[in-house]
C-alpha cells in the first residue's frame, strides 16, 4: 500500500513538472509566432488570438510552478491544470485548422492532439474519454465549416491521432510506472542493505562500523564547537563463564536483553549506542555538565542490574553485571576517533581491575581516573598511568 501511494505521488510530481515544461514551451512558441499574422497577413484578430492563448499558457506555467512546491499535490489540481492547458491548446488548434482556414486540412490540430499526451500519465479510462470528447467536438465543427472532401479527411486524421495519442500515453504511463516501482524496490533494497551494514543483527544496535563512522562526526563537533563528548565502553562481566555455564543460546538471549534496554535508553536520552563485538557495548553522546555524565553512567549500570539475568557462576554477583569505563573529552580537543575509543577501553579495564560492576571515568582535562562506588556514591580520584 505504501509503495502504491508513493507511486501515485511520484506520478503527480511528474505530471506537475510536465505541465510546467510543456505550458512554457507552448507559451514561447505562441509568442514567437504571434507576430506572423500581424506582419504577414495583417490579421489583427488572429494576432490577438495567438497572444491570448500565449498568456493563458503562461498563466498555467506559473500555476504549475507553484504546484511543484507542494509536497502532497492533490491529483484533481494537477488534472485541472492539464485540462486548462489541453483545452486552450485544442481550442487554438480548432481555430487554426477549422475556423480560420476552412479550405485546408487541420494538420496542426492532429499534431497538438498527439503531442499533448506524450508527457502526462493518466488512467486509461480518463485518457480515453478525453480523446473521444475532443475528437467528437473537432469532427462536428469540421463537418459544419468544411466541404465534405475536406472534413472527411479531417475526421479520419483526428480519429487516428486520438487513437495514436491514447496508445502513446498508455505505453508512456506503463514505462513510467514500471520505472517508479523498480526505483522504489531498488531504494528499499539499498536501504535494507545499508541498514544491515550498520546494524548489529543480534541486538538491533548499531555495529562497530557505524560507531567509527559516527564517532568521527562527534570528534569533529567537539573540535569546532568546543562541546564535551562522553563515551562509555561497557563489558558484560564474566560473560565467557556465562556462556560455558548456561550455553551460547542463553548468552545470545542475554545480549538481546541488554541491547533492548540500550535501544530504549538511546531513544530516551538521545544518545548513540552500539555493540562493537562479543559482550562489549559502546555509548556515545555530547554533554555540557559532568554531573549528567555520571548520572547517565549510573543509570546504564543500574539498567543492566535491573534485568536480573541470573549468573550463578559469577564471582561478582548472582546476576549479570557490567564493567563501565567512561572517557570525558573536553571541547576543543584534537583527539582522533581511535584515541577516543582507546581511552574509553582503558577506563573499562580499570573498572575490571577495581572489582567489576563499577564505573571508572577518565577526564581529559585533569588526566585522572574517577572510580564511582555505586553503593555509597563515592568518587575516588587517582592519577592516570602513563599511556
CATH number for the region 208-383 comes to: 3.30.70.270
> Contact at 8 Å (CB) between 356 and 343?
no
Longest pairwise C-alpha distance within the chain = 108
pLDDT at 347: 92
**Number of neighbouring beta carbons within 10 Å of residue 303:** 15
Report d(CA 240, CA 234) in Å as an integer: 15
Report d(CA 346, CA 344) in Å as an integer: 5
- Candidates 279, 287, 292, 338; catalytic one: 279
Q: Which residue has the cell 561497557?
A: 234
Report d(CA 266, CA 298) in Å as an integer: 15
Report d(CA 272, CA 294) in Å as an integer: 16
- Strands 359-363 and 322-329, sheet pairing: parallel
Nearest to 304 by CA among 290, 325, 319, 294: 319
Helix axes 124-145, 75-94, angle to 10 degrees: 20
pLDDT at 348: 93
Query: Structural domain boundaries of the chain?
Result: 2-192, 208-383
pLDDT at 322: 95
Q: Can you read off the three cell numbers belonging to residue 129?
A: 474519454
pLDDT at 136: 93
> Contact at 8 Å (CB) between 120 and 10?
no
pLDDT at 387: 35
As a 3-state breakdown, the chain gives helix, strand, coil percent values, each rounded to 5, of: 65, 15, 20
350 flagged as catalytic: no
DSSP 41: I
> Contact at 8 Å (CB) between 276 and 282?
yes
Report d(CA 342, CA 23) in Å as an integer: 62
Cα–Cα distances in angstroms (integers) from residue 256 to residues 102, 262, 279, 387, in the given order: 82, 10, 11, 34
pLDDT at 377: 43
For the residues of 298-365, what is the DSSP string, one character each?
HHHHHHHHHT--B-TT-SS-SB--EEEEEEEE-TT----HHHHHHHHHHHHHHHHHTTSSSEEEEETT
Residues in the chain with pLDDT values less than 70: 1-2, 100-102, 222-223, 225, 331-334, 365, 372-387
Amino acid at each position: 500500500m505504501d509503495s502504491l501511494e508513493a507511486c501515485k505521488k511520484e506520478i503527480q510530481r511528474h505530471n506537475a513538472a510536465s505541465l510546467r515544461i510543456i505550458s512554457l514551451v507552448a507559451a514561447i512558441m505562441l509568442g514567437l509566432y504571434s507576430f506572423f499574422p500581424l506582419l504577414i497577413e495583417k490579421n489583427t484578430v488572429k494576432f490577438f488570438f495567438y497572444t491570448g492563448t500565449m498568456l493563458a499558457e503562461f498563466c498555467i506555467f506559473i500555476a504549475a510552478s507553484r504546484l511543484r512546491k507542494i509536497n502532497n499535490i492533490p491529483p484533481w489540481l494537477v488534472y485541472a491544470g492539464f485540462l486548462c492547458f489541453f483545452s486552450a491548446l485544442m481550442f487554438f488548434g480548432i481555430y487554426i485548422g477549422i475556423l480560420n482556414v476552412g479550405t485546408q486540412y487541420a494538420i496542426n490540430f492532429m499534431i497538438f492532439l498527439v503531442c499533448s499526451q506524450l508527457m502526462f500519465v493518466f488512467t486509461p479510462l480518463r485518457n480515453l474519454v478525453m480523446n473521444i470528447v475532443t475528437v467528437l467536438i473537432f469532427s462536428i465543427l469540421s463537418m459544419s465549416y468544411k466541404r465534405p472532401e475536406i472534413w472527411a479527411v479531417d475526421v479520419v486524421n483526428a480519429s487516428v491521432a486520438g487513437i495514436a495519442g491514447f496508445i502513446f500515453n498508455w505505453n508512456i504511463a506503463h514505462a513510467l510506472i514500471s520505472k517508479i516501482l523498480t526505483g522504489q524496490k531498488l531504494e528499499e533494497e539499498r536501504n535494507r542493505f545499508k541498514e544491515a551494514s550498520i546494524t548489529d543483527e543480534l541486538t538491533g544496535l548499531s555495529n562497530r562500523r557505524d560507531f567509527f563512522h559516527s564517532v568521527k562526526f562527534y570528534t569533529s563537533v567537539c573540535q569546532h564547537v568546543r562541546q564535551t563528548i562522553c563515551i562509555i565502553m561497557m563489558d558484560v562481566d564474566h560473560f565467557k563463564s556465562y556462556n560455558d555455564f548456561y550455553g551460547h543460546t542463553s548468552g545470545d538471549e542475554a545480549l538481546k536483553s541488554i541491547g533492548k534496554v540500550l535501544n530504549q535508553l538511546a531513544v530516551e536520552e538521545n544518545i548513540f549506542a552500539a555493540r562493537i563485538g562479543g559482550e562489549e557495548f559502546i555509548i556515545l553522546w555530547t554533554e555540557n555538565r559532568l554531573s549528567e555524565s555520571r548520572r547517565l553512567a549510573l543509570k546504564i549500570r543500574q539498567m543492566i542490574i535491573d534485568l536480573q539475568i541470573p549468573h550463578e557462576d559469577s564471582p561478582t554477583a548472582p546476576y549479570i553485571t557490567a564493567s563501565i569505563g567512561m572517557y570525558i573529552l573536553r571541547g576543543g580537543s584534537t583527539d582522533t576517533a581511535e584515541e577516543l575509543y582507546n581511552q574509553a577501553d582503558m577506563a573499562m579495564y580499570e573498572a575490571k581491575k577495581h572489582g567489576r560492576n563499577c564505573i571508572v571515568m577518565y577526564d581529559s582535562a585533569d588526566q585522572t581516573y574517577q572510580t564511582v562506588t555505586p553503593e555509597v556514591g563515592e568518587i575516588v580520584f587517582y592519577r592516570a598511568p602513563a599511556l
